[in-house]
Amino acid sequence: MHMADALLSPAVGGAFLAAGAALLAGCSRKLRNEFDDGKIPLMGVLAAFIFAAQMINFTIPGTGSSGHLGGGMILAILLGPCAGFLAMASVLTVQALFFADGGLLALGCNIFNLGFFPCFVAYPLIFRPLLGRAPTRGRLLAASLVAAVAALQLGAFFVVLQTLLSGISELPFGPFLMLMQPIHLAIGVVEGLVTAAVVGYVWKARPDMLTMPGGKVSAPGWKPVLISLAAATLLVGGILSWFASSHPDGLEWAMFHTSGREELAAPEAGVHRSLAALQETTALLPDYGFKAGSEVDVEADEDWPVVDVGTSLSGLVGGLLTLLVAGLAAWLLRGRSRV
C-alpha cells in the first residue's frame, strides 16, 4: 500500500507530510517524559523486522494480486502507540530514501496510512477493548484480526481519498474504492494472523506484556525475544525474501483494474521531478536490487523463488539501516528525557 508520488498533488502530499511531522513531534514530546531505556534496542530490532517482513509479498488466491505485512499493529502492541508510530516512520523513511519504495512526496501519506490508523485508532479503540483485562490466546487472535482488518481498511480508504483530493482522474473514486477495500480486507486477515502469532510469541516470553502495556522492557525476559527477532530479521530479509510473490500488490492491482495501468506517470517538471531526481540519488538499491546497468540475469524473473544477491543484500542492508534509524530516534528521546 506504498503510494508513489504520481498518485498525489504537491498540495495533498505536502499537507500529509506536515501532518506526519506534527504527529512525530507530538509522539516525541510524549515519549520524552516516559521513555524506557530498554526500548532503544527493541524499537530498532522491531523496526528492522518489519522492514524485512514487508519485503515478502504473499499471493491472494483467485485474484492475481498479492499483499505484504504492514506491521503497524505489531509495533503498536509491543512498543505502545507513540513508539510504534516512530518505528513505522523509520521503516517507511528508509524504504523511500534508500530503496525507492514509495515516493518522497508520498512519504507523509504512507506514514499516515500505515502508521496512524493502527497505532492511534485500531490499537486503543479496537485491540485493547477486545483483548480485555484477562487476555487469552483466543482473545488475542480475535483482537488482532479485527484491529488489523480495520486499520488496513481505513488506510486503503485514505489512499483512495488522497488520490481523489489530488485530482487523479485516471482513478475515479467509486470504482477505485470498490477494488481497494475488498483486496485489503483479504490482506488484513493475513496481517491479523501474523500479528497474533508474533505478539503471542512475545507474550509467551513476557506474560505481563499484554496486561501491563508500557512496562519496563529492560526487565528480565526480553533478551531472548530480541535475539529471536534479530535472527528472524536476518532470515526473512536475507533468504525468505526470495519467495515473495511476483503478482502486483493490492494497490497496483486495484490501479490496473481501474485505469489499465499498475503505475501512473508523474509530471515531468516541478516538485515531482525534483523529488524523483533526489530519490534517484539517495536510492542505493532501488526496488530492492542493484541499480540499472549492473549485470542482471534477465531470465531470473521467470523463476520462483528468485534467488537474487541484490534482494538479499537489500534485506540485510535495509534491516541494518532501519535498526540504526529507529535506534537513534529512541536514543535521542532517551537522552532528552534525562535533561
Is this prediction's pTM over 0.85? yes
Q: What's the average model confidence in pLDDT over 291-295?
A: 55
pLDDT at 335: 57
- In this structure, of 54-68, 279-293, 299-313, the range with the lowest mean pLDDT score is 299-313
In the prediction, which pLDDT does 89 show? 97
**Class of 5-263+314-337 in CATH:** mainly alpha
Q: What is the mean pLDDT of residues 305-310?
A: 86
The pLDDT value given to residue 336: 55
Q: Compute the average pLDDT of residues 74-101.
A: 95
Q: Could you tell me if 83 and 74 are in contact, meaning their C-beta atoms sit under 8 angstroms apart?
A: no
Strands (DSSP E) contained in the chain are 57-60, 65-68
CA distance 257 to 251: 10
With cut-offs at 50, 70 and 90, classify the pLDDT of residue 217.
Answer: low
Query: Is the pLDDT at 236 greater than 70, yes or no?
Result: yes
pLDDT tens digits, 136-176? 999 999 999 999 999 999 999 999 999 999 999 999 999 99
- Asked if residue 270 has pLDDT above 80, the reply is yes
pLDDT of residue 112: 97
Least confident of 130-139, 220-229, 239-248, 271-280: 220-229
Mean pLDDT confidence for 57-62 = 94
Round the average pLDDT of the chain to a whole number and report it. 90
Partners of residue 67 on adjacent β-strands: 58
Give the DSSP per-residue string, 183-245.
HHHHHHHHHHHHHHHHHHHHHHH-TTTTTSTT--TTSTT-HHHHHHHHHHHHHHHHTGGGG--
24 DSSP assignment: H
* pLDDT for residue 268 is more than 90: no
What's the one-letter identity of residue 51? F
| Mean pLDDT to the nearest integer, 224-233 | 91
Could you state, in order of their start, the residue ranges of all structural domains in the chain? 5-263+314-337
208 versus 339: the higher-pLDDT residue is 208
> Which pLDDT score, from 0 to 100, does residue 299 have?
43
